[in-house]
Amino acid sequence: MLKKCLMCGKEFKTSNRKRKFCGKECYGKSIRTSVLIKCKVCEKEFMVEQNKLKKGRKFCSRECMGVFERGKPSGMTGKKQSKYYHKVMDGREPWNKGTKGIMKKNNGSFKKCHKAWNKGIPFSKEVRAKMSANKRDDKNANWKGDNAKYGTIHDWVRTRKGKAREHICEICNERQAMDWSNKDHKYKRDLEDWQAVCRKCHYKYDKIINNK
């Protein structure tokens, strides 16, 4: 297949239909060659390389690109911003056209440094109890049932039966209880299977159960 080089104009043979240049030299020149184009926003003429032109460069600066994409350039204020804004936005339809009567105007309900009406007001005990009940046991997303770890089951017992120190030891009935002890050592979620014991009785009880 004979094709004409876009850079030097010479004819060359190739089997590739997409090939446009006769060699690497012409391809390199085409990339390095600059072209004079007009900015799409400010209409200022500027030089741009061929490879950047192929990638879609249309603006002379980031400011003009910001005007085109957002309608608001960074670093521009006052008359300069207004001039560029109207040049780009003329002929475009606003995004909220035809929504009159459908969209409600903000009548000053939200202002600068606006504070929420319920800020600083604590939840009542009833509301807290409902919130807690909706996240307990199998209603909780992290609920594992009897497959929970040793410490997690102890925490579950503590939240429902209170601290062990608030009770007297259920074995000796003399000393202050320090721990919650599981009776059959299966560690199931059964509150009747737990007892408040002191450290001395806890040690003796576990030793008896383990030796069985």
Verify that 172 and 206 share a domain, yes or no: yes
pLDDT band at 28 (very low <50, low <70, confident <90, very high): confident
Verify that 207 and 165 share a domain, yes or no: yes
pLDDT band at 53 (very low <50, low <70, confident <90, very high): confident
C-alpha angle 77/67/97, rounded to 5°?
Answer: 105
> 151-161: per-residue pLDDT in tens?
889 998 998 89
Does residue 64 form part of some domain?
Answer: yes
Verify that 65 and 42 share a domain, yes or no: yes
Verify that 193 and 171 share a domain, yes or no: yes
Does residue 115 form part of some domain?
Answer: no
Verify that 52 and 77 share a domain, yes or no: yes
Residue ending a domain, among 91, 107, 129, is 91
pLDDT above 60: residue 137 = yes
> 75-125: per-residue pLDDT in tens?
555 555 555 555 555 566 666 777 776 666 666 656 667 777 788 888 899
Verify that 8 and 49 share a domain, yes or no: no
Mean pLDDT, residues 124-130 taken together: 91
Exposed e or buried b for every residue in 8-19, given b needs 16+ CB within 10 A? eeeeeeeeeeee
Does residue 207 form part of some domain?
Answer: yes
* pTM of the model as a whole: 0.40
Mean pLDDT, residues 52-81 taken together: 70
Rounded distance between C-alpha atoms, residue 212 and residue 208, angstroms = 7
Does residue 175 form part of some domain?
Answer: yes
Does residue 1 form part of some domain?
Answer: yes
Task: Please name every residue paired with 47 in a beta bridge, in sequence order, or none if there are none.
Answer: 36
Verify that 153 and 177 share a domain, yes or no: yes
Phi, psi for 38 (deg, rounded to 5): -100, 140
Find the helix packing angle between 62-70 and 78-89, rounded to 10°: 60
Domain span at residue 180? 149-211
Q: Measured between alpha carbons, how far is residue 112 from residues 69, 109, 115, 116, 118 in Å?
A: 28, 10, 9, 12, 17
Rounded distance between C-alpha atoms, residue 10 and residue 160, angstroms = 90
What is the number of domains present in the chain?
Answer: 3
Verify that 42 and 27 share a domain, yes or no: no
Does residue 188 form part of some domain?
Answer: yes
Verify that 22 and 52 share a domain, yes or no: no
Q: Measured between alpha carbons, how far is residue 200 from residues 162, 176, 177, 185, 194 in Å?
A: 21, 11, 10, 17, 17
Q: Is 206 exposed, middle or buried (0-12, 13-18, 19+ CB in 10 A)?
A: middle
pLDDT of residue 34: 75
Verify that 42 and 24 share a domain, yes or no: no
Give 99 or 56, the one with higher predicted confidence. 56
Verify that 21 and 69 share a domain, yes or no: no
Does residue 14 form part of some domain?
Answer: yes
Give 30 or 167, the one with higher predicted confidence. 167
Does residue 190 form part of some domain?
Answer: yes
Least confident of 29-43, 137-151, 152-166: 29-43
Rounded distance between C-alpha atoms, residue 205 and residue 194, angstroms = 13
